[in-house]
Chains A and B, each alone.
Chain A
Amino acid sequence: MVSARGQRAVRPRSRLRRRQWRAAAAAYLFLAPALILLGVFTFYPVVFGTALSLYDYDVISPPRFAGTAHFRALWGDRFLWLALGNSLKFLLVVPVLQALSIGLAVAVNVPLRGITWFRAAYYLPVVTSMVVAGLMWRWLYEQDGLLNFLLTRAGLLERPFAWLGHPDLALYAVMFVTLWKGLGYYMVIYLAGLQGIPPEFEDAALVDGASRWQVFRLVTLPLLRPSILLASTISAIAALKVFEEVYVMTGGGPMFRTYTMFFYIFDKGFQQLDLGYAAALAMVLAVAVLAFSALNFRLFREGGWTYH
């Protein structure tokens, strides 16, 4: 009798549980392919990457434990400091890029007919392949290239020279391409930010007798702060990880003046096949990037997805 009553009490619950279990199973079946792929190619690398940095691995012979040898070698690695220095220098592109993008966003944030075509024109470099953009700029920068032609014709330059071959200017020439290609992208972020500002704010300030510049500096700019933070972190991370521009245009030269961190990692890992050391280098870059990506992550959680 007791057992019968017990069974009666249990049966509906177990049915409920089975239904819950089936729902969960269905959910995980839907998630499985994505989770497996992300597990193998996104999460696993973080763990294994750390382990790999403690090994010597050249693909051909089996990995050999090296302990902290790679990390100790990093201190005396001339190329590391060189590459790290160049990557940090590349951060200079961030403030310039952001300032120009804000200016551009303000300029195209006018309800004119056909303004969308202007915006599209600025965005075009963003969707252009870096290989194409890089090749194009490589030709523009050449000694007999268009840039030199225009500058000498305008009397701004006495003698044409190869921009990407100049030890002091090559890095900046590469940075300019990053700037050119990124402008439209950040413009769109700021455009979204600008359109989120109620026009009453700026109108009120104008009515109070503020000049256009004052309105921009004291009203618009502070209200754009979230967009500025977001865009700056994105572009700082991208700057620290710059690779494609360098690979296509200079290959790290001249005299290692455009040899950046990511390029060094690529060089070590895939040209010299010293994957253990490359993993150690990747850790160094990860630490540099982490500060920015942590900030980015926080902004992201607070701000939500910027999809309207």
Chain B
Amino acid sequence: MLWLLGTALRARGPVFGFPPQVLPWPPSLANFATVWETMPLPRFFANTLLLAASGVVLNLVLCAMAAYPLARMEFPGRRLIAGLLLSTLMLPGHVGLIVNFVTLLRLRLIDTYAGVILPGAVSVFGIFLLRQAFLTVPGELEDAARIDGASEWTIWWRVMLPVIKPALGVLALFEFVAVWNSFLWPLIVLKSPEKYPLAVGLLYLSGLFAHNTRAVAAGAVMMTLPIIAVFLFTQRFFMRGLTVGALR
């Protein structure tokens, strides 16, 4: 147990200087300064932020929209749609990799952020997560709004969404981590290095600056710190065993 903890910590240690000593003394921030000035890291950082932000917002809005009728409305085809959504868990996602590339090519979305974001803009996991949340909203709230003459849209926006804020928060969190770390799809879609997010950019730099391990390591730290910060404040949500996230 301690050995594994040690591995986790040790593995993050060497990024400060390698190979000879594990803990360089005195520690220096010079590497970070060099990286920040000479490499397009701020650019990659901004790209990642943009991708993560738009991915999170799109997922929240679209999943909440799709989940609402599935939880609170009676309409023909509801069961069919719920079944279809569930069946996506069985679909071979990797086939989508090739076909989506062709689709984006036809839509002329290769090398655009839209191409990176759109295929992941709705997650079935998110729809079901929010559907569960909508189911718990008391009916009286909805009835009261309906008597006041509110439209479905108003009920969704003013009544429902405020109540399910905690679930929205959980989805935002998971989506943020997923987009921040996503690597394969941006690697396929983006062709110009100046558009790379950190995950792709870092690997690109590690190829270009193979001799300067420290600089790349400093970049790796920059990429990981925000995630660790977010994680430490929100770890109780991750510890609840949200296993469905892996099924995408």
- Please report A residues at the B interface, Cβ cutoff 8 Å: 23-24, 26-28, 30-31, 33-35, 37-38, 40-46, 48-49, 52, 57, 59, 104, 107-108, 116, 118-133, 135-137, 139-140, 142, 144-146, 149, 180, 183, 185, 188-189, 191-192, 230-231, 234, 238, 241, 243-244, 247-248, 262, 265-266, 269-270, 275, 278-279, 282-283, 285-286, 289-290, 293-294, 296-297, 300-301, 305-308
Contacts and interface: CB of A to CB of B under 8 A. Distances in A.
Given A41-B118, A128-B224, A286-B94, A269 B101 contact: yes
Interface string B224-248: 1001100110011011111110110
B97 interface: yes
A30 B241 contact: no
A136 B220 contact: yes
Contacts of B40: none
Contacts of B239: 116, 119-120, 123, 188, 191
Given A40-B103, A123-B239, 15 more contacts: A30-B66, A31-B69, A41-B96, A59-B102, A104-B4, A120-B231, A127-B227, A139-B19, A243-B184, A247-B184, A275-B101, A279-B95, A286-B95, A301-B86, A306-B244
A129 B66 contact: no
The main secondary structure of chain A at its interface with chain B is helix
B161 interface: no
A104 to B, nearest CB: 7
Contact of B102 (A122, A142, A275): A275
19 contacts: A23-B73, A24-B76, A118-B5, A120-B235, A131-B202, A131-B220, A136-B12, A136-B220, A146-B22, A188-B238, A230-B243, A279-B99, A282-B98, A283-B95, A285-B92, A285-B94, A289-B94, A293-B89, A293-B92
Contact of A30 (B68, B121, B246): B68
Contacts of B177: 127
A23 B75 contact: yes
B246 A129 contact: no
Interface of B: 1, 4-5, 7-12, 14-15, 18-19, 22, 62-63, 65-66, 68-70, 73-78, 81, 84-92, 94-103, 105, 118-119, 121-122, 124, 127-129, 132, 152, 156, 177, 180-181, 183-184, 188, 198-200, 202-203, 206, 213, 216-217, 220, 223-224, 227-228, 231-232, 235-236, 238-244, 246-247
